[in-house]
Amino acid sequence: MTPFIDVSGLNKFYVVGTQRLHVLRDLDLQVPAGQMLAIVGASGVGKSTLLHVLGGLDRPDAGRITIAGTDVSTLTDAALVEFRNRHVGFVFQFHHLLPEFDASENVEMPMRIARVPRAEAKGRAFEMLSRVGLAERLAHRPGMLSGGEQQRVAVARALVMRPALLLADEPTGDLDETTAEALHGLLKTMHAEHGLTSVIATHNPRLAAACDRVLRLEQGQLRDA
């Protein structure tokens, strides 16, 4: 069976000053549809870079990335933007909420880009914010929310389009233990209800243990944890 994510020979370099940093080295990865995969490893090892390259936010220097049969490494910039909007949900380590918009408007943003009718977008935003426990915070802007609440808005925004793929960078980093456990449950539910496939970079051992599979990123390659 063809894997949902199929990565071969992935390489990524960064130039810092006079140094050329080889972050990802001939990395291979296959993820079947519906799997919840945890990526663990030391800070700075390249977990965020891997997620960004998988989701098309950054281009690889070499290698091939196929997601759901689409070779995303060869898409034009415009086609890649459309692919991300329709099929990929991101949870960033630092949230990246738009400060001038309230929680509901932030969650609605991917649907506005996809031209979902406004009434439907508002309804789906409310439903998803309710599922992350923020039904009473719809009109609050990010500056009025705690770090954990901002993180839950970011999770709602990532899931509201019911993406085929979720890429999450430390999704429980700002959450207390109880809220983190609730988020684990939501992700499991989304996998069951919508056939979600997810790749989650995390330092949280409880979240990693809740995943179907755990890989460690070391020296630019993935190994069994």
DSSP conformation letters of 156-197: HHHHTT--SEEEEESTTTT--HHHHHHHHHHHHHHHHHH--E
Q: Judge whether 39 and 222 are in contact, CB under 8 Å.
A: yes
**pLDDT at residue 26, as a whole number:** 95
pLDDT exceeds cutoff 80 at 58: yes
CA dihedral 168, 179, 96, 211 (to 10 degrees): 0
* pLDDT tens by residue, 11-24: 999 888 888 889 99
Higher pLDDT, 31 or 181: 31
**pLDDT at residue 223, as a whole number:** 93
**pLDDT at residue 95, as a whole number:** 72
> CB under 8 Å to 26, separation ≥6 — which residues?
9, 10, 11, 63, 220, 221
**What's the DSSP call for residue 204?**
-
* pLDDT tens by residue, 72-105: 988 999 999 888 888 898 888 777 889 999 999 9
Domains and CATH numbers, the chain: 5-224 (3.40.50.300)
pLDDT exceeds cutoff 90 at 217: yes
* pLDDT tens by residue, 134-160: 989 899 999 898 888 888 898 899 989
pLDDT exceeds cutoff 90 at 54: yes
Q: Judge whether 215 and 39 are in contact, CB under 8 Å.
A: yes
Q: How far apart are CA 183 and CA 173, in angstroms?
A: 11
**pLDDT at residue 220, as a whole number:** 92
Q: How far apart are CA 148 and CA 136, in angstroms?
A: 15
Look at strands 197-201 and 165-169 and give their pairing.
Answer: parallel
**pLDDT at residue 201, as a whole number:** 93
Give the residue-averaged pLDDT of 32-41: 94
Q: What's the one-letter identity of residue 46?
A: G
Q: How far apart are CA 160 and CA 184, in angstroms?
A: 16
Share the mean pLDDT of the chain: 89
pLDDT exceeds cutoff 70 at 1: no
Here the tokens at position 144 are 């009025």
Q: Which residue has the tokens 């649907």?
A: 111
Q: What's the one-letter identity of residue 143?
A: G
Inter-helix orientation angle 147-159/118-131, to 10° = 130
Q: How far apart are CA 215 and CA 84, in angstroms?
A: 24
Q: Which residue has the tokens 């071969």?
A: 8
Sorting pLDDT into bands at 50, 70 and 90, what band is 214? very high
Higher pLDDT, 106 or 187: 106
* pLDDT tens by residue, 169-198: 988 777 778 878 888 888 888 888 888 899
* Among 140, 41, 143, 154, CA closest to 94: 154
